[in-house]
Structure 1
Amino acid sequence: MAWIASQEYYRVQRDISEGQQRCSVSERRIDLYHDRITTHRREFRLGHVFDISYRRIGGGIGMLYLHTSIGVFPYTVNTDPTLFIARFKSMPGEQTSE
């Protein structure tokens, strides 16, 4: 099944080894389907996602938040997620927007 909308996000991992800090960045995607939202490690049924919000931090970076029945999940983004959020909010279903 093809996704309806997709949003890139990234994860920064820092490791300290032999007294040196190493930083790695992994680019990933959040995909919106007719019945679910998937990320690199998680899958949320749309009925369990209450809202998606965005807060800009600065320098073109922001945090995308998935508000779900099991908690709020933050994702770091460096592109504007307005279209992704609008597509989610236009989906028929049990999710609500507040």
Structure 2
Amino acid sequence: MKALSEHSIIYIEIERKIDFYYQMQQIEMQYELLLNSDKIISASHQFELRNVHDISHKTFSFGGGILYLHTNQGVFSYKIQANPASFIHAFKSLKAQR
């Protein structure tokens, strides 16, 4: 069970592989982007909250969108299907407390 101070959103990464018959296979992997009181954690990165300047998103007309983390290391993008409003609101609330 998650603590009340944690929020998450599912993001998708597409992995492309060539199989034994030289056919392109696309494998869709789902991961969790986790926001807690002091950091944001993805499958391959960990960002201290003080190093994340902002979070924004772009919605696509066909559904889903891209969530952008604006950090001191650059902008990181995550393909999402869910509405990120509560995740972004939780982030901004935590930043305002600091």
The two structures have a TM-score, normalised by structure 1, of 0.88
1:43 and 1:28 map into 2 onto residues whose CA distance is 14
Deviation for aligned residue 1:19? 2.5
Residue 91 of structure 2 corresponds to 88
Residue 12 of structure 2 corresponds to 10
List runs of 5+ in structure 1 lacking aligned partners.
94-98
| 1:39 aligned residue (27, 37, 42) | 42
Counting matched residue pairs gives 93
Indicate the percent of aligned positions where both proteins have the same amino acid. Answer: 34
Query: Aligned letter for 2:9?
Result: Q
1:71 and 1:85 map into 2 onto residues whose CA distance is 18
Deviation for aligned residue 1:40? 0.5
Task: List per-residue Cα deviations over 1:17-76 (Å, max 9, x = no partner).
Answer: 332110101110111111100001110000000000000123212000000000000000
- Structure 1 consecutive aligned stretches of length 4 or more whose deviation exceeds 4 Å: none
Query: Aligned letter for 1:31?
Result: L
1:73 and 1:49 map into 2 onto residues whose CA distance is 10
2:62 and 2:8 map into 1 onto residues whose CA distance is 22
Aligned alpha-carbon RMSD (Å): 1.4
List runs of 5+ in structure 2 lacking aligned partners.
none
2:93 and 2:6 map into 1 onto residues whose CA distance is 11
Task: List per-residue Cα deviations over 1:67-91 (Å, max 9, x = no partner).
Answer: 0000000000011110000000011
